[in-house]
Amino acid sequence: MDRPTPSVSQYLKDPDAIYEASFAAIRKAAPVDRLPVSVQPLAVRLIHCCGMPDILDDLAYVVEGPTAGSNALAAGKPVLVDANMVAAGITKRFLPEQNQVICTLDHDETRKRAKSLGTTRSAAAVDLWWQHLEGAVVAIGNAPTALFRLLEIIEDGAPRPALILGLPVGFVGAAESKEALIERADGIPYVTLRGRRGGSALAAAAVNALALHPTTPGDS
């Protein structure tokens, strides 16, 4: 039986209507309401970013994490990212204090350190975060080695960030780095996604959620 071909004009065009329909569909498709109130806006943004409601099953977090991250942004603290793609995905106009978004991946010193230490540029770039880390929001969406290195320098005495958004992606080290974050965060609030899934878009979406939906300590 022939199926009618819909007209290309028959699709939703109003941006506000699309926005509302998208988030309504997410709430219908995923049991977001089972999460603490403080975590729900971030979870919805992550699902909206990747189109996969089932990531909710792999979401791991400290309940106070989103509040800590929102408060850090409100206090003007920087956002440290592992990749330029994460930086590009953060909507700067959402940031409450024109917060600095810092990516050190392409610094000359990063290349030198990576070569001398026999490591990835992503890991070497984290060594240049030291002076910015205190109370910052960290968003890792690409490199597992960046997350591993972050945990190492914190254990070595580096300043502690307000929140770690640990969302690296890949088949080598991604799942392991996230489990290391959960096990070795040492009281630092975090949000992560167990398993191989992650990515720069998800990390940026998480930062945007913190900026758009500030929470309070009473949200739980």
pLDDT tens by residue, 191-202? 999 999 999 999
Q: Give mean pLDDT, residues 107-131.
A: 95
pLDDT exceeds cutoff 90 at 58: yes
Q: Choose the catalytic residue: 48, 107, 132, 213.
A: 48
pLDDT at 24: 82
Give dist(CA 28, CA 26) in Å, integer: 5
pLDDT at 125: 97
Name residue, tokens 């943004």. 45
pLDDT category at 10 given cuts 50, 70, 90 is: confident
% of the chain with per-residue pLDDT over 70: 93
Answer yes or no: 107 catalytic. Answer: no
**pTM of the full structure:** 0.91
What CATH fold (topology level) applies to the domain 15-212?
Rossmann fold (3.40.50)
Lowest mean pLDDT among 25-29, 53-57, 177-181: 25-29
Which residues 6+ apart lie within 8 Å of 81 measured at CB?
Answer: 87, 90, 101, 102, 103, 138, 139, 140, 141, 203
The H-or-E segment that residue 196 falls in is: none
Burial level of 57, CB count in 10 A (0-12/13-18/19+)? exposed
Q: Give mean pLDDT, residues 141-169.
A: 97
pLDDT category at 28 given cuts 50, 70, 90 is: confident
Give the bridge partners for 138, in sequence order. 80, 164
